[in-house]
């Protein structure tokens, strides 16, 4: 299994971060890698997201878990390699939270797919926090 975790501490309210995640159609405003995205259903466990990264084919993500205000987990099956990303908000103290992206990949191409998917996590988290803080 291939695993990586990236995080950023912020004073942006956890509710604002959650709203930015739940507003899937607006992800391209803060995630420059997304060309097109569409949520089927509510932002909840079991729903799917069709995401087209710039210059790539559309990937279907399934929301494997969602706990409002705390975390969501998306999963993709890329030709037998399972890519699972946990997006979590963790309270540090009364004023700060930590936004965490943890990617786990297993399967025949995990060593190739996972580094490419997670390469921009630091920039993505920073852009998310900036967007949510407006």
What digits encode the pLDDT tens for the residues 3-47?
Answer: 999 999 999 999 999 999 999 999 999 999 999 999 999 999 999
CATH number of the domain that residue 76 is part of: 3.30.530.20
pLDDT given at position 124:
98
Q: In a 10 Å sphere around its CB, with 0-12 CB exposed, 13-18 middle and 19+ buried, how is residue 106 labelled?
A: middle
What is this structure's pTM? 0.96
pLDDT of residue 127: 98
In the prediction, which pLDDT does 111 show? Answer: 97
As a whole number of Å, the end-to-end CA separation of the chain is 37
The domain total for the chain is 1
- Write down the mean pLDDT value for the chain: 97
**pLDDT score recorded for residue 1:** 96
Residue 72 structural domain: 2-132
pLDDT in tens, 101-114: 999 999 999 999 99
3-state secondary structure the chain: CEEEEEEEEECCCHHHHHHHHHCHHHHHHCCCCEEEEEEECCCCCCCEEEEEECCCCCEEEEEEEEECCCEEEEEEEECCEEEEEEEEEEECCCCCEEEEEEEEEECCCHHHHHHHHHCCHHHHHHHHHHHHCC
């Amino acid at each position: 299994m291939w695993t990586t975790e990236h995080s950023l501490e912020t004073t942006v309210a956890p509710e604002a971060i959650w709203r930015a995640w739940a507003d899937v159609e607006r992800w391209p405003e803060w995630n420059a890698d997304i060309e097109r995205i569409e949520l089927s259903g509510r932002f909840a466990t079991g729903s799917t997201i069709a995401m087209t990264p710039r210059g790539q084919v559309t990937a279907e993500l399934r929301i494997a878990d969602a706990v409002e205000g705390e975390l969501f987990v998306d999963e993709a099956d890329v030709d037998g390699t399972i890519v699972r990303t946990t997006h979590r908000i963790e309270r540090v103290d009364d004023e700060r939270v930590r936004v965490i992206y943890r990617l786990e990949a297993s399967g025949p191409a995990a060593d190739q797919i996972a580094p490419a998917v997670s390469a921009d996590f630091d920039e993505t988290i920073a852009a998310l926090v900036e967007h949510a803080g407006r």
